[in-house]
Chains A and B, each alone.
Chain A
Amino acid sequence: MVKILFMILFTTILFGDIFDENCLKCHQNKKELRLFMNKYTLKYSSERRVKKALFRFLKYPSSNKSIMPYSFIIKSGFKDDSNLSDTQLKEAIDIYYNRYNLRHFIR
């Protein structure tokens, strides 16, 4: 048991978490990530609803599920369907929400 925990900790330090590994490869612009999160928050408000909408989009991305304007989609295109499992995708979304949602920065 201790060995397993040690392995998880070791790989996390070495390779980063699931968000870093799967999302930051393409989305290196932090301002862009903040913009996406702001747009989702502006439309869906609560953590539950934002995460649900993000999951729905990332699982099978399409223009009608996207929060971004059509011009942005034309310019940037879509990523492929996520190959992460539901649990992994939810974990990545949790990390994204905690790092980029402004509610965590209000003082």
Chain B
Amino acid sequence: MWFKLSKNKSVRKTILNIVFIYLSTTILLVISISFLYIKNQKEEIFNLHREQTNTQANYIISKLEDFDEAIVDEVVIYPRIDGLESAIYDIDYNMIFSTFKQKIVFKDKKYISKDEYIYFIYKVEPYYLGTAYLVIQKQKGYELKSKYKKMVFVVLFIILFLILTSFIIAKMLIKPLSDNLILLDRFIKDTTHELNTPISAILNNIELLNLDTIDKKNLKKINRIKIGATTISTIYDDLSFLLLNNKQKSNNQNINISQTLYQRLEYFDILATNKHIEFKKEIKDDIYLVIDKLKIERLFDNLISNAIKYSNVGSKIIITLDEIHFSIEDFGIGMYEDEVKEIFTRYKRFDKTNGGFGIGYSIIYNIIKEYNIKINIDSLKDKGTKVILKW
């Protein structure tokens, strides 16, 4: 469907942000205009009603004037008009006489609206019988109600229209970015697929080589090939995990993660040796965790390869594992505080000098989120980084 949101989280978030800003500003504008329109209509209707009551008000005022001029000694009959209720108030808003059934308060107003009535307030001067205000009650018409109904209908229609158009606009705005992301994903997918066979062939053949028959100079070269192939193999594993395995259901088993960690350290040994990095292992044996084997491997691989990648040549990496936590500490380039905050963003790379796609921490994040593992990253620029996982 044309309004279907992208599967990509950041694209979806951007679309929703654009839609939210666009909608909130335009809806605010529409509501403001509607409010002003209704206010204007209200004034118009009230003015129309007021014009109709003007004649009746003038009649009552003239009658009050008559009473005041005639010095009467007996009862004064208040001027009543059939079907019209009215009241007179003095300058301090005290009621002098009223035919209303309810009390009203109207300080400094031209009219008030109460229940199903509108009360029009006329100032009277001089104050015949003390009357400073004449108030005339009028039944509310249905004009305003029908205008309100129409207005609500129109506003709802506009809002609905805005919601639909906002999604189209957001999608149009985001399309180039979205296309690039799709292209990048597709490229990685295709590349990954094509990489598998040659990498496996290289690594398998290196393993099959009889290293005793090879002279020292060539052995060094073969080691370099092995390092390169191992690096590519790790990248391949990450990419295929991100694109394929991450979408599959986890096959959780009680895994001896101490053993897995040893295996992974051995796998990366050649990369560490190449940079003269020493692994300082504080690994407790037979630590078990219920987890997908592939996922714990990806978790360790990414943390170990990152530590190697960003360690200084000739430094050490401290690896600790016990019943409740795993930690890996390197002494390398480290990160700024802001960089640590953004570390889990996919394709985010802070150090452009080292290779990679910037997907390592995205994989780590997905795995720890799935298994509810807490992560803590302590990093100091040019000092190193310590990553602690707690379960």
A residues apposed to B, CB below 8 Å: 30-31, 34-35, 38, 41-50, 101-103, 105-107
Contacts and interface: CB of A to CB of B under 8 A. Distances in A.
Nearest to A101: B130
A102 B90 contact: no
B129 to A, nearest CB: 5
A103 B73 CA distance: 12
Contacts of A107: 75-78
Contact of B94 (A31, A41, A47, A105): A47
Contacts of A42: 68, 126-128, 130
B127 A44 contact: yes
Contacts of B73: 30-31, 34
Nearest to B96: A103
B77 to A, nearest CB: 6
9 contacts: A41-B129, A42-B126, A42-B128, A43-B126, A45-B127, A47-B92, A48-B92, A105-B74, A106-B129
B111 interface: no
Contacts of A35: 71
Determine the interface band of chain B, counting residues with CB < 8 A from chain A.
20 to 34
Contacts of A106: 75-78, 96-97, 129
Contact of A103 (B71, B91, B126, B130): B130
A47 B71 contact: no
B131 interface: yes
Contact of B75 (A30, A38, A105): A105
Given A102-B129, A105-B75, A38 B68 contact: yes
Interface in B96-155: 96-97, 126-132
Nearest to B74: A105
B244 interface: no
A41 B76 CA distance: 15
Contacts of B127: 41-45
A3 to B, nearest CB: 39
B127 to A, nearest CB: 4
B300 interface: no
A45 B128 CA distance: 8
B268 interface: no
Nearest to A42: B126
Contacts of A103: 96-97, 129-130
Contacts of B97: 103, 106
B17 to A, nearest CB: 61
Contacts of B126: 42-43
A38 B33 CA distance: 51
Interface in B66-82: 67-68, 71-78
A43 B131 CA distance: 10
B71 A49 contact: no
